[in-house]
């Protein structure tokens, strides 16, 4: 039913109710009050139905509002999902900046460390820049070179592997940064304490 029709019907019902309340109150025939009660009961029932219509209309409006809110929330969730995916991609991309001890993974930090160690080898030697976990692998650079010795020597033959220097190579907000520890300080830098993250190892004989 259209809204204008509802208003017209309500006005008509209200006028009818007032008419019966005024006209029937003074009638004294026994059958008339019963008829009047029936009419008034009908009018009250009709009024209740209109109130129900109002509640239903309000409920529809609330549902419509909630639907709009849910739609906006879905858009926000989708935006956040895309941002999270972007952050995950960025975090995964930082793997290019992290040394990976004990693996054959190479990145430009590995390359910088290898170049630095090679530049310090003033006599002919095989040289390796061995990554060291400065946060707690329990090894000094002397120990890191020794423990890597077997796998390193498998490439070049027999001999001993020793540490001859150490570096810390980092990526900072301002760019790349290196710190040269020198032989005495870097190779024996205490275990389980951050310091060199690359050990310069060489085949000694």
Shared domain for 67 and 157, answered yes or no, is no
pLDDT under 50: residue ranges of the chain: 2, 23-32, 97, 99
Find the angle CA(162)-CA(186)-CA(161) to the nearest 5 degrees.
Answer: 10
pLDDT of residue 183: 62
Distance of alpha carbon 8 from alpha carbon 54, whole angstroms = 15
Shared domain for 113 and 185, answered yes or no, is yes
Domain region containing 192? 100-203
Look at residues 91, 123, 146 and tell me which one is the last residue of a structural domain. 91
Return phi, psi of residue 170, to 5°. Answer: -130, 155
**Dihedral angle, C-alpha 71, 73, 74, 77, nearest 10 °:** 170
- pLDDT per position as a tens digit, 168-179: 888 888 888 888
Shared domain for 146 and 164, answered yes or no, is yes
Distance of alpha carbon 199 from alpha carbon 128, whole angstroms = 8
Comparing C-alpha atoms, which of 136, 133, 142 is closest to residue 183? 142
pLDDT of residue 32: 47
pLDDT of residue 200: 92
Shared domain for 122 and 195, answered yes or no, is yes
């Amino acid at each position: 039913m259209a809204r204008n029709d509802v208003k017209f019907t309500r006005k008509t019902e209200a006028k009818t109710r007032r008419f019966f309340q005024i006209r029937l109150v003074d009638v004294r025939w026994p059958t008339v009050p019963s008829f009047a009660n029936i009419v008034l009961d009908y009018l009250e029932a009709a009024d209740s139905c209109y109130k129900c219509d109002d509640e239903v209309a309000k409920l529809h409006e609330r549902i419509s509002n909630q639907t709009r809110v849910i739609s906006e929330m879905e858009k926000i969730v989708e935006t956040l999902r895309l941002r999270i995916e972007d952050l995950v991609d960025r975090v995964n991309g930082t793997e290019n900046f992290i040394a990976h001890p004990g693996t054959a993974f190479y990145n430009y930090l590995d390359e910088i460390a290898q170049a630095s160690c090679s530049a310090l080898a003033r006599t002919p030697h095989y040289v390796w820049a061995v990554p060291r976990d400065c946060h707690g692998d329990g090894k000094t650079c002397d120990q890191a070179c020794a423990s890597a010795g077997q796998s390193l020597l498998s490439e070049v033959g027999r001999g001993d592997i020793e540490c001859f220097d150490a570096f810390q190579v980092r990526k900072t907000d301002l760019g790349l940064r290196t710190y040269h520890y020198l032989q005495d300080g870097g190779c024996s830098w205490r275990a389980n304490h951050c310091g060199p993250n690359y050990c310069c190892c060489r085949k000694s004989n």
